[in-house]
Structure 1
Amino acid sequence: MQPTHPFRVLRAKPLWIANGVITGVLALLFTVFYVGASIDPVDHMKELPVGLVNADRGAAAGGEQVNLGRQITESVKKSAASGDKIDWQVMDEKEMKDRIGQGKLFGALVVPGDFTSSVTALTGASATTAPARPTLTVLTNQSAGSVGSGLARTATTEAARNASLQVGRELTARNGSGSADLSTAARLLLADPAAVTVRDGHPLDSHSGLGLTAFYYALVLVVCGMLSANVISGQVDHALGYTHNDMGPRRLHRPLVRATRVQTLAVAGTLMAGLSVLMGTLVMVGAVGVMGMDASHLPLLWLFSVAAIAVSGIGALSLLAVFGTPGMLVVTLVFIGMAVPTAGATTPIEALPGFYRFLAEFEPLRQLTGGLRSILYYDAQADAGLTRAWVMMAAGLTAGVLFGFGVTNWYDRKGLDRIPAERKPEEAAVPV
């Protein structure tokens, strides 16, 4: 009798169908998550928070007190050009600086204190005088995300220029025939009185990856937890004798140690918690010590790194324990597929479609990125994302533990044994 050739399995339709469905669904889902989230951020943008500051002290003009800064801010707020895409938040300079320093604003428009006096000086300029042009300042905030900062910069600059033209039309109409006495340069400036300058509202160190080191550091932590969970799950199964372990050409196998699914998950979770200390330490040493990433609050960064890896890893272990072999696909979708596009690192949450905004509320990578931004960029301020990160990590750990141990305990009570019947005589008791 001729032995069956291994390649004959390629004739089996179930092999093609099962793998085709799995790989096809993965390809489609990753395309939807990655491309769909970033394909048109401007169209999807809604209520991007941008500060609006009027520091103008006003000035006397034509026998009355005038504050053109107030007109500028009112014009910007009422402008239909931005619709509901920009959430203009009126505040003073101190509050604006605080909120930019917490990553809660993607930018700001600032009307300076001498704006009215500088503008009204244009109407009093002689025919030979070249008056100085007053300036509106657009602040960016790259630490909150480069794309979000860029969107805020574009919208704010356009709003400032439109407001300048509106004020110019009002001044020209108010000045009437007096405009003829002005120099050509003064008349041109009167029609569009304000220059617009752009500067960084929250400068970062040069080793901050243009505001992306927090995201990539968080991604490393999640990947460490996710991949380590896969390794640990396999190694624990091998140590208990449930699976073989192929090391190159060698296949290793240990005597079977009978363990419930709950016990197996507990062993793997304990191993993950212990090894998270090692991994978190090495991640920080590699990023800060070897690569020179700008970072402060190093003890807090270390603690956060260890906790993030542990939570991600235990969550992944729970999914692997519940779903078995397909669990790694579920882990990949949860921790990478749905997480990266909703992390707010490149495209801001406010510029994502509604479904992705919903995912961003609980996806782990977004929470970790926010916490790391607080530690790395915002002096570890609690309300800059750090408190939310700790709370969501605690919630994620609780949910993962309850889900993992709850379902595996149900498997055990139902007698869904992992040990094949023909191997049960070889089993050993789990040492207590």
Structure 2
Amino acid sequence: MSSTENIVDPHHDTLRGPRFWVGPIVVVAALMAALAYLYLGSMISPADHLRKFPMAIVNQDVGDVMPGSDARRNLGDEITAGILDGIDPERIDMQPMGISAMNSGLDNGTLYGAIVIPSDFTKRTSILAQASVVPGDIEKPIITVYTNPRTGTFGTNITQTIANQAMATVNATIGEQLTRTVEDTLATSAPDLQLSGGSRITLADPINVLTVPHKPLPDNTGAGLSAFYYTLLLILAGFTGGMIVNTMVDQALGFQPAEYGPRFIARETTHLSRMRVLLIKWGIMFVVAMIVSALYLWIGTALGMPFPRALLMWEYGTLAITAVGVTALAVVSIFGQAGLLVNLLLFIVLGLPSSGGTVPLEAMPPLFDWLSTFEPMHQMYIATRAILYFDGRGAAGLAHGVWMTLLGLAIGLVLGAVITMIYDKRGFHRRHDVPEVSAPIGG
């Protein structure tokens, strides 16, 4: 009897079982469904999910006497009260404050925009009403809407929408009051005079609303998206780089075979503990982080991207890539090949939509706001944005981002070290199980 007649393919029954075919299909379909829900659900209807969107209203008006009355009025106070009464405080957090606090909030990125009523608003409105029946040139009273382009294009658009709606109401209310005041004054003091059509149009729309960006971004910042994409690069360098380091080290040490085209190479497994192998991978990852962070700066500068705090950006980039890479390697060391799926969920699937880099978290469903409290990408985004757009201010998110990145690095180091040492002590060594093959009887 030939020895080959006694060899049974151990995978023959596996191929026939439904689990072999259904497993990959279910995992991939579930992952893609999660991607679709999270990515589309985070951005398709921001107006429906607006929640505590932070803006400021600054009233500097000192008031004046309006035509037809001896009493002083302060239209700025009336407009401020009207705007605050007309908005839902659960959706828009319109905060009355002074000009200094407003500038600080815009500089730190804690405000998406502001409405500023100047000190001479009532006076200019009074002059406009008087000039409606007197020949001569006149300027409309001005209200300025400040946007904050450094918080992103989406945040700017939401700010403009809110301000436009508020100013349309204010214009209509003030216009109606002015028209009625002038008509009443004319009826009393000059009944033979009538408002011209041009005057009526001017009084019906009396306020000149100016939209001004607060500290516009320089060129080559992608309209405020460069910080988000730079953060994405840091995440990918840590996550993808960690997986590449893991595979190449395991192949070189014989823990898994290597394939290069038709070549299949299975090296002899080295007798290194899990902990020693993980330390080797962490060391390589740190060197990779320093080099890749420098490469990002060099390539970005060559493309014209501004780096006002280049050294700080390199330092934080190195920290961020190291933290993600160390944690990703720890997860794979703990869960094995299933760790790739865990890393994908942690750093990419849940991280991208909750980063706040494209759509403000205040315009997303509460789920994403909750995810942002611990998801690495959001912490890295606010730190990167602070460095690139807000001069590296700690209050702009750098302090929080660095602290959370260090915390993530510490968690990765502790979990990876503790679990792999437990595996080593319990004898879960990484060895190939080679089954014993006995010669067939009569072979």
Q: Deviations over 1:243-268 (max 9, x none)?
A: 11222332334332222222221211
Q: Does 1:75 align with 2:82?
A: yes
* Aligned-pair CA distance for 1:136: 1.5
Q: Is the 8 A contact 2:52 2:89 kept in 1?
A: no
Asked if structure 2 preserves the Cα contact closer than 8 Å seen for 1:109 and 1:160, the reply is no
Counterpart residue identity of residue 285, structure 2: M
SS of 1:342 mapped into structure 2: coil
Residue 12 of structure 1 deviates from its aligned partner by 4.0
Q: Report the alpha carbon displacement of residue 127 of structure 1 after superposing the two structures with TM.
A: 4.9
TM-score (normalizing by structure 1): 0.91
Match of 1:430 in 2: none
Moved more, 321-330 or 405-414: 405-414
| Matching residue within 100, 115, 118 for 1:112 | 118
The alignment's TM-score, normalised by the length of structure 2, stands at 0.89
Alignment of 1:115-264 (within 5 A): 115-125=121-131, 126-129=133-136, 131-175=138-182, 177-178=184-185, 181=193, 182-264=195-277
1:365–1:130: structure 2 CA closer, same or farther, 3 Å change rule?
A: same
Distance in 2 between the 1:231 and 1:368 partners? 22
- Tell me by how many angstroms 1:343 deviates: 1.0
Deviations 1:250-297 (A, max 9, x none): 233433222222222121111111221111111111112x21111111
Q: Which runs of 5+ in 2 are unaligned?
A: 188-192, 437-443
Structure 2 contact 38–353 (Cα < 8 Å) conserved: yes
2:434 alignment partner, SS class: helix
Mapped contact 1:72–1:164 kept (Cα < 8 A): no
Moved more, 268-277 or 409-418: 409-418
Q: Is residue 93 of structure 1 aligned with residue 106 of structure 2?
A: no
Amino acid at match of 1:101: D
Change (3 A) 1:263 1:423: farther
Q: What is residue 428 of structure 1 aligned with on the other side? A: none
3-state DSSP class of the match of 1:136? strand
Aligned alpha-carbon RMSD (Å): 2.3
Deviation at 1:185, TM superposition (A): 2.8
Take 2:422 and 2:370, find their aligned partners in 1: how far apart are those partners? 30
Aligned-pair CA distance for 1:410 = 2.6
2:281 aligns to what SS in structure 1? helix
1:423 Cα offset (Å): 9.2
**Residues 31-430 of structure 1: matches in 2 within 5 Å?**
31-61=36-66, 62-80=69-87, 82-125=88-131, 126-129=133-136, 131-175=138-182, 177-178=184-185, 181=193, 182-288=195-301, 290-422=302-434
Letter of the 1:47 counterpart: K
In the TM superposition, what is the alpha-carbon distance from 1:186 to its structure 2 partner?
Answer: 2.9
Quick one: percent identity of the two aligned structures?
31
Indicate the SS of the match to 1:405: helix
Supply the distance in 2 between the matched residues of 1:94 and 1:130 (Cα, whole angstroms): 34
Q: Secondary structure at the match of 1:117?
A: helix
Secondary structure of the corresponding residue to residue 357 of structure 2: coil
Alpha-carbon distance in structure 2 between the residues aligned to 1:247 and 1:421: 24
In the TM superposition, what is the alpha-carbon distance from 1:132 to its structure 2 partner?
2.2
The more displaced of 331-340 and 53-62 is 53-62
The structural deviation recorded for 1:49 is: 0.5
Structure number with greater Rg is 2
Counterpart Cα distance in 2 of 1:51 and 1:7: 69
Instruction: State the shift of 1:129 in Å.
Output: 4.4
Q: How many matched pairs?
A: 421
Are the counterparts in 1 of residues 235 and 377 from structure 2 also a CA contact under 8 Å?
Answer: yes
